[in-house]
């Protein structure tokens, strides 16, 4: 199943199931028509008992009656998860990325956070004030979305708490990140966590540790790797995080970026006005973001 959030222009975003690029089912409208009560926010939907069965019924009713069906080409795509409680990130989780920055290989996951106000959608522009930061960088990342509350879960049970996966870009203001001596401010400017295009449920992804991942800047491939190169897998990360704090449905877990980020290239490749960033992950799709200076 592929879940997204959409609008037709003026209304608040609603949760939809993307059946194909041309067909999206508005879950709430189709559910109402079918007599199935479904919440309007993705984070609430993921916390709903047997939400998959209820959504399947809504989709079945929509296909039979036309209730809640939309032409995908006429919709605006919003961030698949709106207003998550937490955005948890993992640093230095690819060995060759750690090495390209001259960092030691971590023995345990390196965690930091981005604020929920960083979350942006597939059609949002990435913008920043050039007088505030002059070194904006891209980071292709696999993002795990929590589906079931997790607290002190064992690694062997951790993937049961993951609803699915999506493509993410851990945008970073390197001058702030490196100048502050810690990462939160440089990682947390508004809109610095584009995600999308849809949340692909775990059953459709298969092995999340065997997916190609890449980043193209203005059509040039600058990052290319596989999630098989993660130092700490999704199961280890969810378990590790859950020992420290409770993970809630809709929480985002950015799992780290492979080598090839702009700041460590020779010469550096940093983002500027008019640049186009495309992050792709096998089976999840591509997330393209346009850049603009404020």
118 and 55 together in one domain: no
Domain containing residue 272: CATH number: 3.90.850.10
Domain count, the chain: 2
Last residue of a domain, which of 60, 78, 96?
78
Last residue of a domain, which of 33, 58, 78?
78
Last residue of a domain, which of 57, 78, 99?
78
93 and 195 together in one domain: yes
Per-residue pLDDT of the chain (294 residues; tens, 9 = 90+): 999 999 998 889 999 999 998 999 999 999 999 999 999 999 999 999 999 999 999 999 999 999 999 999 999 999 999 999 999 999 999 988 888 888 888 999 999 999 999 999 999 999 999 999 999 999 999 999 999 999 999 999 999 999 999 999 999 999 999 999 899 999 999 999 999 999 999 999 999 999 999 999 999 999 999 999 999 999 999 999 999 999 999 999 999 999 999 999 999 999 999 999 999 999 999 999 999 999
62 and 92 together in one domain: no
50 and 192 together in one domain: no
123 and 8 together in one domain: no
Phi (first) and psi of residue 151, to 5 degrees: -145, 115
Phi (first) and psi of residue 115, to 5 degrees: -75, 150
Cα 180 from chain centre: 25
- Say if pTM beats, i.e. exceeds, 0.85: yes
Sign of the four-CA dihedral 56, 58, 64, 70: negative
| Residue 9 lies in domain | 2-78
63 and 196 together in one domain: no
143 and 281 together in one domain: yes
């Amino acid at each position: 199943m592929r879940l997204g959030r959409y609008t037709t222009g003026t209304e608040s975003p609603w949760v939809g199931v993307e059946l194909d690029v041309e067909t999206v089912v508005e879950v709430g409208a189709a559910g109402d028509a079918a007599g199935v009560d479904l919440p309007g926010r993705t984070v609430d939907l993921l916390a709903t008992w047997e939400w998959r069965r209820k959504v399947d019924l809504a989709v079945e009713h929509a296909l039979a009656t036309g209730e809640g069906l939309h032409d995908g080409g006429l919709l605006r795509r919003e961030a698949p998860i709106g207003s998550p409680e937490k955005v948890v990130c993992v640093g230095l989780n690819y060995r060759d990325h750690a090495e390209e920055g001259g960092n030691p290989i971590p023995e345990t996951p390196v965690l930091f956070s981005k604020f929920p106000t960083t979350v942006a959608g597939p059609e949002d522009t990435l913008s920043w004030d050039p007088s505030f930061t002059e070194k904006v960088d891209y980071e292709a990342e696999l993002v795990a979305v929590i589906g079931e509350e997790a607290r002190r879960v064992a690694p062997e049970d951790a993937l049961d708490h993951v609803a699915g996966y999506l493509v993410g870009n851990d945008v970073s203001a390197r001058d702030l990140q490196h100048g502050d001596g810690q990462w939160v401010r440089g990682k947390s400017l508004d809109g610095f966590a584009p995600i999308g295009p849809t949340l692909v449920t775990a059953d459709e992804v298969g092995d999340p540790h065997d997916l190609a991942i890449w980043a193209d800047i203005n059509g040039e491939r600058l990052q290319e790797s596989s999630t098989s190169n993660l130092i700490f897998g999704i199961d280890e990360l969810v378990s590790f995080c859950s020992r420290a704090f409770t993970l809630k449905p809709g929480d985002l877990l950015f799992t780290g970026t492979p080598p090839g980020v702009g700041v460590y290239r020779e010469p550096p490749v940093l983002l500027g006005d008019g640049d186009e960033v495309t992050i792709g992950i096998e089976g999840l799709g591509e997330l393209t973001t346009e850049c603009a200076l404020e």
